């Protein structure tokens, strides 16, 4: 059986080597580029992100990343976001009073955390959603965060009984914030699993296995 393929979307957000190495370590065949067709063809698409929300959205739009994510999800094809790559999946970001439209896959606003020390940098625990697949085998572990902004409330209400509500994992730094979401083919983490040691590798392995 062939290893699952993962395409890392390179839209100029920064160093992608750690994600590339981590995914290869857990058994994925990895490609990295801005190529739309490669992103469509892969079993899984990884959307990374570091830096400012507005800059990341500009880079994503320049490589048609918004269309790539939308088309994959419309066909039930897996997508994973990490850090700002998670944040852009929400309706919008508000940084220093500047609002930027996001991809709108989930309702919510990315805002500055109300915390005594920013950025939130280092290892932290998470409160894992019930029946999580992504966190299977890593309950009670710590993960590595580097951010000052996050989604502070979750307002996604599922009214259709035929649909399953997204599973939301939380963390705390000054206040509660969304640390991860699992929503069918779309999953995302505010922390960096590729920098979170064995626990992060196990989480990425769970995702890669789900692609097979």
- Choosing from 20, 56, 83, 120, which is the catalytic residue? 83
Instruction: Give the span between the Cα atoms of 75 and 14, in whole angstroms.
Output: 28
Return phi, psi of residue 47, to 5°: -110, 105
Annotated catalytic residue within 105, 141, 182, 194: 194
Report the candidate in 106, 103, 104, 6 with the shortest Cα–Cα distance to residue 61: 103
192 assigned to active site: yes
Which residue among the candidates 20, 147, 192, 202 is catalytic per the annotation?
192
- Is 56 catalytic? The answer is no
Quick check: 192 and 87 in contact, CB under 8 A? no
Q: Is 20 a catalytic residue?
A: no
Q: Are 109 and 75 in contact (CB under 8 A)?
A: no
The residues carrying an active-site annotation are 83, 192, 194
């Amino acid at each position: 059986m062939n290893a699952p393929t993962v395409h890392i979307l390179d839209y100029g957000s920064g160093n992608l080597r750690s994600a590339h190495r981590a995914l290869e370590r857990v058994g994925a065949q990895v490609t990295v580029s801005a190529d739309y067709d490669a992103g469509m063809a892969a079993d899984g698409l990884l959307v990374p992100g570091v830096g400012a929300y507005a800059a990341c959205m500009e880079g994503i739009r320049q490589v048609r990343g918004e269309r790539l994510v939308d088309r994959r999800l419309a066909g039930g094809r897996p997508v994973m976001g990490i850090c700002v790559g998670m944040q852009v999946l929400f309706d919008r970001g508000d940084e220093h009073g500047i609002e930027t439209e996001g991809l709108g896959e989930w309702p919510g606003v990315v805002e500055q955390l109300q915390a005594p020390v920013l950025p939130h940098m280092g290892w932290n625990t998470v409160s894992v959603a019930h029946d999580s697949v992504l966190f299977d085998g890593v309950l009670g572990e710590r993960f590595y965060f580097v951010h000052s902004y996050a989604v502070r409330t979750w307002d996604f209400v599922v009214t259709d009984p035929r649909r399953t509500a997204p599973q939301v994992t939380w963390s705390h730094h000054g206040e509660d914030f969304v640390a991860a979401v699992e929503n069918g083919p779309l999953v995302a983490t505010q922390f960096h699993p590729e920098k979170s040691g064995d626990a992060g590798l196990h989480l990425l392995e769970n995702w890669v296995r789900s692609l097979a």
